[in-house]
Amino acid sequence: MKISPHWLRDFVDLTPSDRQIAEDLSRAGLAVEELSGEGSSTLFEMEIGTNRPDAMNHYGIAREAAAVYDLPLKSPAGENAAAGGNSPPQTATVEIDIADPEGCARYTAQLIEDIQIRPSPPFIADRLRLIDQRLINNAADASNYTLWEIGHPTHAFDLDLLAGGKIVVRRARAGELLTTLDGVERKLYPEDLIIADQNKPVALAGVMGGYDTMITDKTRNILIESAWFDPVAVRKTAKRHGLHTDASHRFERGADFAATPLACGLVTERILASGGGRLRGTLDAIARELDQAPVVLRIAQVHRLLGTKLPTHEVLSILKRLGFELVPEPVASPEFSVRIPTWRLDVEREIDLIEEIARLYGYDNFPNTLPSVRGVMIENPNLLKQRKLRSRLLSLGYNEGLSLSFIGHQDAETFSSAPVVEIANPLSDEASLMRSSLVPGMLAMMSYNLNRGTENIRLFEVGDLYQRSNGAVWERGAICLGATLSALRQGLPQGSVLDKSNAASDIDVFRALKGDIENLLSLFEHTSLAFDNQPPDYYDPTRSARVWMDGKQVAQFGPLHPEIALARKLRQKVFIAEIFTLELYAHGLREVLYRALPKFPGVERDFSFLFPESVSFEQMEGAVHAIGLAVLQSFQPVELFRGHSVPLDHYSILLRAKFQSWERTLREDEVGEYSRNIISALQGLGGIQRA
């Protein structure tokens, strides 16, 4: 909102510099965001909160400035301005019928005859131009000038075009049409609050006038409307028609009930001054009084909430400067009954008064204090789990990314089967659903990087997933990892590569990602961790796995399905992993229990075997563990080999067992016995021991 400090000085003799005024107003809550121009064309760009329609004009700001500086405030009313003042015989009349008192509490009107419609005089024109207002003609400009001067919206009708000499404030009837000033023909809703003449709607009340009754060059007689419309009625009408005007902005925030005659008079005065003519009638219909009950103010409450014992005279002085009237209540503790000025519809309660006191006293003048540390600590165990996972992901080399919470229908169908949560007013079709999978966002981030030449990508996102569930929305957490083939290859530690026949083969790349998943899951207490190869459709079915912790699925991972990768034009093979934190967080964090270190040396034995491709390491592990060797500490593959001397459909595997006793050094013959057991278990699976 643009305010001219020069204009403010019409109402209050401000001596500080414009810059100082801007600063002081801001400190009192009337924020001057920017100051531009010089001298009499200096402008404040102000940001006035929705609760302060009274300050959305020059007089309102001047009123605040007068309170801030404790200066007298001059009335905007000229000699003959107020309606019903010194005026020629008033013979003309219209009938005002407020058929909807809820929607319209007061309707003041003045009738002007024989005026000339012409451009506004320089004084009015210059000021309106300064605050970026469009000039129309002396009648419309007078109304607009008054709006920016005292904040009350008014409207000028061509009186001769109002049928039946009648103004009716009512709700619209089904099927009624109104072409508004912007030239748009609008079908009215029965709830719309409108102004009508005897036959037809002529304005959307408090929002916009009608086209057919507007002031034109031909207009000779005018009706000035200055009414008080109900905030909710105006707001709803404006919203239904997608309109937001200077008038509706003020009415829907609450106009000054008492200002209707003043506004009407000011507009009339300005039209008469520029267009000649005569005031021929003043009407003021009050359908209902606005109930502004006095508010009780307890000084003790002021002290309790603000934390500073402001002297009572200071409190009273502030309120008086702001236009509040105070009557002491005859009780023991200092209490006052405070009458609220008509322009302050936002002040209804004691707390509202306390805010007025605090802001005029100056927020920065209250001393800073610290409250004691009290209240229960509310535990949030999942938070700790999330922090641990996050920090482990970082140490595994994954960068944290954040993607938007929205996805489109196609992605939702590809990456989840959950019933989707749709947004009524989405930003775009591609963002019309709340995400049911983190994978689309991850792929978008990876593709963004690949398209910019970044090849080694490791990313993770901690986010939420949404799905419909019995009419409600179910929200749950998830973590998604993304890595490119080159990043996984690069991260392969030399000693851990199994497949010696093929540098960085698929199996070792898969193991690199599997190891990351294992490192994450090992944070949690569990008795079993199982992997199967039944991933959802969007994974490569030959190289992906689902992970089950104690019988519940907690993760899945693998390369993206080649067809999806192709469709997305990903420039490199991309791996993803999803961790279902809801299921994972059902497990506690693993508690560490120290185990005594061994005092006796361990012994390692290697076994070189040839196996058919159909036998998995898991089977070997199972067969060896089934022997039940208490001293078997670990059983691990150390090398894989295919090709050359290895027959087709077979592979060679080097396995290493480590034996260790906590009681004694193992004897050579014992270890020999264990080894024979292992060899025969592996032979039982169809393995052939190699030399």
Partner 1 sequence: MVALYKVPKLSDFSPQALDRHVAELLAAVEAEAAAVKTSDTRKAFRDRWLARKGGILTQVNEWLRSAPKDIKPEVGRRVNQLKLEVEKRVEFKAQQVGKAAPESSIDISLPGIRRPIGAEHPITRTMEEIVQVFARLGYSLVEGPIVESDYYNFEALNFPLDHPARDTQDTLFLANQEGKPARERLLLRTHTSPVQIRTMEKVGPPLRILAAGKVHRNDPPDASHSPMFHQIEGLAVDSDITFGDLKGTLDHAMKALFGSQVKTSFRPSFFPFTEPSAEMFVSCFICGGTGRRGEEPCRPCKRTGWIEILGCGMVDPNVFEFVKQRGYDPEKISAFAFGMGVDRIAMLKFGLDDLQLFFQGDLRFLEQFK
Distances in Å between the alpha carbon of 572 and those of 438, 484, 504, 527, 560? 20, 7, 16, 37, 11
Site for partner 1 in 16-35 (CB under 8 A): 26-29, 31
Considering only residues 43, 46, 52, 159, which one is a binding residue for partner 1 as defined by CB under 8 A?
52
For position 370 contacting partner 1 by CB under 8 A, the verdict is yes
Binding piece for partner 1, criterion CB under 8 A, among 205-213, 427-435, 510-518, 653-661:
427-435
Rounded Cα distance between 228 and 109, Å, is 12
Rounded CA gap, 383 and 636, in Å?
Answer: 35
Give residues with Cβ within 8 angstroms of 390, minimum separation 6: 400, 462
Answer yes or no whether residue 494 interacts with partner 1 by CB under 8 A.
no
Q: How far is the CB of 588 from partner 1 (least distance, A)?
A: 19
Q: Is 399 near partner 1 (CB under 8 A)?
A: yes
Which helix H or strand E contains 150, and what residues bound it? helix 138-150
The residue among 404, 441, 283, 301 whose CA lies nearest residue 357 is 301
The angle formed by the CA atoms of residues 281, 283 and 279, to the nearest 5 degrees, is: 25
**Pick from 211, 208, 251: which is nearest to 227 by CA?**
251
**CB of 421: closest distance to partner 1 in angstroms?**
6
293 binds partner 1 (CB under 8 A): no
The single residue among 99, 177, 427, 503 that binds partner 1, judged by CB under 8 A, is: 427
Distances in Å between the alpha carbon of 605 and those of 403, 438, 620, 679?
A: 50, 45, 15, 11
Whichever of 236 and 568 has its CB closer to partner 1, that residue is 236
218 vs 374, beta carbon nearer partner 1: 374
| CA 23 to chain CA centroid, nearest Å | 30
Q: Please give the residues from 172 up to 231 whose contact with partner 1 meets the rule CB under 8 A.
A: 231
User: Shortest approach of partner 1 to residue 579 CB, angstroms?
Assistant: 15
**Contact yes or no for 461/399 (Cβ under 8 A):** no
Q: How far, in whole angstroms, is CA 292 from its chain's centroid?
A: 34
Residue of 423, 503, 586, 627 that binds partner 1 (CB under 8 A): 423
Of residues 34 and 673, the one with the C-beta less far from partner 1: 34
Give the residue with the Cβ less far from partner 1, 150 or 445.
445
Cα 234–235–237 angle (5° rounding)? 65
Residue with smaller CB distance to partner 1, 111 or 459:
459
Residue with tokens 């993607």: 403
C-beta of 6: minimal distance to partner 1 in Å? 23
CB of 449 to partner 1, least distance (A): 5
Q: Which one of residues 174, 331, 378, 593 is an interface residue with partner 1 (CB under 8 A)?
A: 378
Among the listed residues 134, 313, 452, 569, the single contact to partner 1 using CB under 8 A: 452
Among 176, 355, 518, 639, binds partner 1 (CB under 8 A): 355
Q: Does 572 bind partner 1 (CB under 8 A)?
A: no
Binding to partner 1 (CB under 8 A) within 232-291 occurs at 232, 235-236, 252-253
Q: Is residue 597 involved in binding partner 1 (CB under 8 A)?
A: no
> Least distance (Å) from partner 1 to the CB of residue 545?
23
Rule CB under 8 A: choose which of 99, 163, 300, 404 binds partner 1. Answer: 404
| 119 interacts with partner 1 by CB under 8 A | no
Nearer CB in complex with partner 1: 362/612: 362
- The residue from 331, 332, 373, 691 that contacts partner 1 (CB under 8 A) is 373
Residue 230 near residue 102 (C-beta atoms within 8 A): yes
Give the DSSP per-residue string, 614-639: T--HHHHHHHHHHT--TTEEEEEEEE
Q: Which of 426, 541, 637, 686 lies at the binding interface for partner 1 (CB under 8 A)?
A: 426
The single residue among 375, 495, 551, 628 that binds partner 1, judged by CB under 8 A, is 375
Cβ closest to partner 1, residue 117 vs residue 446: 446
Nearer to partner 1 by C-beta: 424 or 648?
Answer: 424
Q: Does 429 bind partner 1 (CB under 8 A)?
A: no
* Both structure tokens of 220: 């000779």
Cβ within 8 Å of residue 481, ≥6 positions away: 393, 398, 442, 458, 459, 460, 513, 516, 557, 575, 576, 577, 578, 579
Cα–Cα distance for residue pair 51/76, rounded to 1 Å: 23
Binds partner 1 by CB under 8 A, chosen from 7, 406, 609, 611: 406
Q: Which of 332, 376, 593, 597 binds partner 1 (CB under 8 A)?
A: 376
Radius of gyration of the chain (CA): 40
Structure tokens of 346?
């936002």
Q: Could you give phi then psi for residue 613, rounded to 5 degrees?
A: -55, -25
Q: Report if residue 371 touches partner 1, rule: CB under 8 A.
A: yes
Minimum Å gap between C-beta 662 and partner 1 is 32
Closest CA to 338 of 347, 111, 590, 108: 347
Question: How big is the site for partner 1, counted in residues (CB under 8 A)?
Answer: 88
Which range touches partner 1 (CB under 8 A), out of 7-15, 136-144, 448-456, 528-536?
Answer: 448-456
Part in contact with partner 1 (CB under 8 A); list of ranges 107-115, 331-339, 365-373, 567-575 = 365-373
Of 314, 422, 412, which Cα lies nearest the Cα of 365? 314
Q: How far is the CB of 291 from partner 1 (least distance, A)?
A: 17
Residue 278 Rama label (left phi>0; alpha psi -120 to 50; beta): beta
- Residue 383, class by beta-carbon neighbours within 10 Å (0-12 exposed, 13-18 middle, 19+ buried)? exposed
Contact region with partner 1 (CB under 8 A), list: 197-205, 402-410, 576-584, 611-619: 402-410
For residue 515, give every residue at least 6 positions away whose Cβ sits within 8 Å of its Cβ, in sequence order, or none: none
Report the chain's terminal Cα–Cα distance, integer Å. Answer: 90
**Stretch of residues binding partner 1 (CB under 8 A), selected from 273-281, 299-307, 317-325, 605-613:** 299-307
49 binds partner 1 (CB under 8 A): yes
Asked if residue 435 binds partner 1 (CB under 8 A), the reply is no
Residues numbered 302 to 341 that lie near partner 1 (CB under 8 A) are 304-308
- Give the residue with the Cβ less far from partner 1, 490 or 553: 490
8 Å CB contact between 129 and 180: no
> Quick one: tokens of 507?
């199996």
Q: Are 574 and 443 in contact (CB under 8 A)?
A: yes
By CB under 8 A, which span of 89-97, 324-332, 456-464, 532-540 interacts with partner 1?
456-464
488 lines the binding site for partner 1 (CB under 8 A): no
Stretch that binds partner 1, among 313-321, 349-357, 500-508, 658-666 (CB under 8 A): 349-357
CB-based contact 565:450 (threshold 8 Å): no
